[in-house]
Structure 1
Amino acid sequence: MTVQSTHRSTREWVLLVVALVIVAGIVAPLWKLSGTGESQQEFLAKWTPERLSRLLLGPEQVACYFCFAWSGLILLTRWREVRRQRAAFSLDLLPTDEGARILPEDARPLARKVDQVTGRSGPYILGNMIRLGLGKYAISKSAPDVAEVVRNQADVEQSRFVATMGTVNYLAWAIPAIGFLGTVRGLAGGMSMAGSQETEMAKFIKQATDQLGIAFDCTFVALALSLVLMYFLHAVQRSEETLIIDCQDYCQEHLLLRLYDPHPQN
């Protein structure tokens, strides 16, 4: 059973490609018109293997790579778990025939069926929401009470997603912090060179420039990694939020609207 969306989805990747084509179509001709062939060659000549190694292989950069890889593996695991959770929508958890009704005496047998079906492939958020709702219906025989249980459980699951994302949120903050730490180290090295009176002027300028290069290289790499990580973090969080919404929608269509309430509220 697939979850039907109530609106058309935005094809963000297609729009990304369109945006890249538009920007490239405007910027590329302007860049060619504004610069000469010699300036472009000089720009490319600056990126030697030695320059790239200083940019990408500093100690702070390596620490940023570690944090990025760690958080990326966590996000990959979370994304795979969301994909696994979505498999519950195709399981035979509730009657889906048109006109089917769920009576109070059907609640406990259906709950046992949900446990049996979901027990073979691991816990599911959808299965747990249905099981708790059926358990409440078997006791209270009230559809509004079941709706309250489903809503509360959805809030619990959403809060659990947010709470367990704490490590990734910390790493997303730690990456630019490590970059700024490298910036401070580079600036401090440059200031120490300025305080030396015995250094020759040419040697002093080179050493100070190298230290300032370390400072800005660390910041550049850290902020670039942080931007990428924040996008993936946002994408995984959105997929988890959408999962909870789809679970509520499934319960609304196949559980709450099929419950027989012997004592309807006026």
Structure 2
Amino acid sequence: MSLRNPERGLFTVKGLIFSLGLIASFIFVGVFYAGLIRPAANKAATAALYGVDSGSTWANLFVILKDMEQQVCISLFIWGIMILAYKFHQVRSEAKVVDLFDPAPGIESRPEMLKLKSIRGSINRKQAQELANEIENHGKDAELGNKILPYVLARGLERYHMTGSVPESTETIMGRIGVAAEQQESELSVLRYLVWAIPSIGFIGTVRGIGVALRRANEALEGDISGVTSALGVAFNSTLVALIISILLMLLIHLLQGNQEGLILRLQTFCREQLLDKLYDRSLPDDSKEPASPEKTEEA
């Protein structure tokens, strides 16, 4: 989420989650299926064939999950959970930085942390440069490294120091916060693709199961309906699992998006109340103030 040093490359945390995380999820789910789900499902199917109790309360669930389409859907779901956990962690770390600059009542921030709330009156251009340098120095700490708030505050104060213009400083700060919001939105594209891809894979299982059932229709006409029912089970189970997974994933995505939007609003509010409202536009002439009306003068 950093604007200064965005994570790029395969060997960053983001790169590992988006690339190796996908491979790891498929390997983990494949081992789980080979070691537990498919053997238990085959055992349950054999027991049902002979009319014997399988002895497992999870037998029906294993039968529902045993096919390839469900395995792929679960693998993609776990990969999506990895991405969501990473994004939630990013939002939480950004919110902690805002708490350091703007602690809640009764909560003390680090003693060496800059507190813009303690500044009274307007900020002149010299103070703006000093504050920008202080923020830059704190930004080197591991806790504040590559975070949005220190970056936009430093850039806005530097712009005010150079121009003395509040509108330009406001445009700089809000523009960079807007870029951060767009970056957050663009990084959700993979998750939105998963929400579309998982039900599509489930529908592929549905088409495959119906096709197998149609090929075995002659067996049903001869009195053996086991092949048709098994194929229809593949069709319905794959759709059922895919839709449930997509519903859960969409819920988590909406929760993440709400947290991200809340963070952006909090950043904008903090910058306006604690910094921009304290700047004075030096480009305005002194006589730009509205003169007192004659009526007020006579009353005085």
TM-score of the two chains, using structure 1 as the length reference: 0.76
Aligned partner of 1:105 in structure 2 is: 126
Q: Could you list the runs of 5+ residues in structure 1 that have no partner in the other structure? A: 1-46
Rounded Cα–Cα distance in structure 2 between residues aligned with 1:86 and 1:100: 27
Report whether the alignment pairs 1:162 with 2:182: no
Aligned partner of 1:13 in structure 2 is: none
Report whether the alignment pairs 1:118 with 2:122: no
47-56 vs 237-246, which moves further: 47-56
SS of 1:119's equivalent?
coil
Q: Post-superposition shift, 1:50?
A: 4.0
Residues 93 and 127, structure 1, Cα contact 8 Å, conserved in 2: no
Q: Post-superposition shift, 1:148?
A: 1.3
Report whether the alignment pairs 1:258 with 2:278: yes
Q: Post-superposition shift, 1:263?
A: 2.4
Rounded Cα–Cα distance in structure 1 between residues aligned with 2:69 and 2:226: 21
Residues 123 and 49 from structure 1, CA distance in 2 versus in 1: closer, same or farther, beyond 3 angstroms?
Answer: closer
Aligned partner of 1:73 in structure 2 is: 82
SS of 1:243's equivalent?
helix
Report whether the alignment pairs 1:207 with 2:227: yes
Aligned partner of 2:36 in structure 1 is: none
Aligned partner of 2:91 in structure 1 is: 82
What does the per-residue CA deviation read over 1:33-74, in whole Å, with 9 as the maximum and x for residues that have no partner? xxxxxxxxxxxxxx9644322212221111111111000111
Aligned partner of 1:34 in structure 2 is: none
Letter matched to residue 51 of structure 1? N
The number of residue pairs the alignment matches comes to: 218
Q: Post-superposition shift, 1:200?
A: 6.2
Rounded Cα–Cα distance in structure 1 between residues aligned with 2:201 and 2:276: 50
TM-score of the two chains, using structure 2 as the length reference: 0.68
CA RMSD of aligned residues (A): 2.0
Aligned partner of 2:253 in structure 1 is: 233
Q: Percent identity between the aligned chains? A: 32
Letter matched to residue 153 of structure 2? I
SS of 1:177's equivalent?
helix
97-106 vs 238-247, which moves further: 97-106
Q: Could you list the runs of 5+ residues in structure 2 that have no partner in the other structure? A: 1-55, 102-112, 289-300
Residues 104 and 260, structure 1, Cα contact 8 Å, conserved in 2: no
Rounded Cα–Cα distance in structure 1 between residues aligned with 2:221 and 2:265: 67
Letter matched to residue 74 of structure 2? Y
Aligned pairs for 1:162-181 within 5 A: 162-181=185-204
Residues 130 and 251, structure 1, Cα contact 8 Å, conserved in 2: yes
Residues 85 and 125, structure 1, Cα contact 8 Å, conserved in 2: yes
Rounded Cα–Cα distance in structure 2 between residues aligned with 1:125 and 1:156: 10
